[in-house]
Amino acid sequence: MDKLQETLQREGVVQLQQFLPEKELAILMEKIKLLKFIRSYKPLTHYYTSAVLPVSDLKGLFSFLKVLGMRITRARAYKLRWKNYSVLHDSIKQREYREIILDLTESWEESWGGACIYVDDSGDYQKIPWAYNSVMVIEKKRAQRFFQYCNHYAQERLVVIAQVQREER
Amino acid sequence: MDISAWIEKQHLTRQIVIEKKPFHHLLLKNFLREHKAAILKKALCKEPFFQKETDLLKFKQSHDFYSTQNKQLHPAYDFFRSPQLISFISKITKTKLSSQKISIAGSLYEDSDFLLCHDDQLEGRKIAFMYYLSTLEPQQGGALELFSSHQGRPLKIEKRYYPCYNTLLLFTVSPTSFHQVQEVIKAQRLSLSGWFYG
């Protein structure tokens, strides 16, 4: 856990692969299936469908966060298909990102787009690679995030992004 | 510069209608004389194209003609920046233009390339132009899509123009000239694009 904390502080990103046990993964997928996904299209900023995922649905799945002194405050599930994207519009300011990304996409090719990319204040890009059932922990002081445009080869991409907060010690 | 040696006669003699919705634009089909279009395409195909990729776009672009080493493109560059052509564009778009400056470069969209919604606004840009050197069918994408707007924000796609060889498309750059280029599907979309300045 110390190594995880150290990497997070140094890189701003830590990936944990094959994260959820099969049973928990199946239960979470059932819960996500029941969510009400809403399409949102604002041409200058984004086009995707998403749904609020109650924090209670994630209870017990990310116990490592507690050790890191973090807790989930809210979560949203995103579905990305052909023509979906989000961009770094001038109106969207750089801000602190402290979040986790749970990748629930069973099959995906990098060439289809759809990657989640963080851009920090020095202009450096950090692309979050696709990995089924992986969790990325992201902690960046000043950044912007976007989803690459999904091209006509893309199937459906499903990710959960949860905002986390550091707890007062 | 005798622009009648370049432009099809019909465009120099007839009244050209400006489309007003969703924002001022106009389309000149069969714009250049056939042999001029063919020579221009041949010259442009010899130009190196460089990959551009950001959150907003993915396509290939040549250098601005201002800095091209390709001598075969010089006559076309001289034509597009000639005071006579700028005066013609100024007249048909009813826009005061400067004869001092234009930007022009080749754009190449290939499979899965795109350009998302934006307004083109940048200091001095008055008229945006696209001159198509390929024709695409609807199933191949690549259309220029123009958005209607409400309270300064793009609302929905109101017009869609698929690239058609030897067609010039012009639109007035404004805070609401929202447009995008549809993703190209298994095809090549070659064009010249740039701006006339005020």
ipTM of predicted assembly, 2 dp: 0.92
CA B10/CA B12 separation, integer angstroms: 6
Contact A151 B117 (CB under 8 A): no
* Sign of the four-CA dihedral B143, B144, B147, B153: positive
Residues of B in contact with A87 (CB under 8 A): 55-56, 116
Q: Select the more confidently predicted residue: A14 or B147.
A: B147
Write the pLDDT tens digit of every residue in A125-161: 889 888 999 999 999 888 899 999 999 999 999 999 9
- B179 touching chain A per CB within 8 A: no
A10 falls in which pLDDT band (50, 70, 90)?
confident
Write the pLDDT tens digit of every residue in A46-68: 999 999 999 999 999 998 888 88
A107 falls in which pLDDT band (50, 70, 90)?
very high
Work out the number of other CB atoms within 10 angstroms of the CB of residue A81: 14
What token pair was written down for B61?
Answer: 């672009």
Partners of residue B132 on adjacent β-strands: B167, B191
Residues in CB range of A141: below 8 A, 6 or more apart: A96
- B122 touching chain A per CB within 8 A: no
What token pair was written down for B52?
Answer: 């551009």
**How far lies B10's CA from each of A155, B29, B99, in Å?**
48, 10, 24
Task: Tell me the domain boundaries of chain A.
Answer: 2-166
Partners of residue A127 on adjacent β-strands: A117
Domains located in chain B, CATH noted: 3-197 (2.60.120.620)
Class level of CATH domain A2-166: mainly beta
Q: What pLDDT score does B81 carry?
A: 96
**How far lies B174's CA from each of A34, B44, B71, B127, B179, in Å?**
44, 29, 34, 9, 11
Contact B183 A148 (CB under 8 A): no
- B46 touching chain A per CB within 8 A: no
Q: What is the pLDDT along chain B (198 residues), one digit of tens a residue?
A: 899 999 999 999 888 999 999 999 999 999 999 999 999 999 999 999 999 999 999 999 999 999 998 999 999 999 999 999 999 999 999 999 997 789 999 999 999 999 999 999 898 999 999 999 999 999 999 999 999 999 999 999 999 999 999 999 999 999 999 999 999 999 999 999 999 999
Q: Average pLDDT of chain A?
A: 91
Type of residue numbered B78: D
Q: What pLDDT score does A169 carry?
A: 59
What dihedral do alpha carbons A89, A94, A98, A103 form, nearest 10°? 20
Residues of B in contact with A43 (CB under 8 A): 116-117, 147, 154, 178, 180
Q: What pLDDT score does A8 carry?
A: 83
Which residue among A149, A151, A152 sits closest to B116, beta carbon to beta carbon? Answer: A149
Q: What pLDDT score does A40 carry?
A: 97
Type of residue numbered B18: I
Which of B144, B145, B139, B140 minimizes the C-alpha distance to B188? Answer: B140
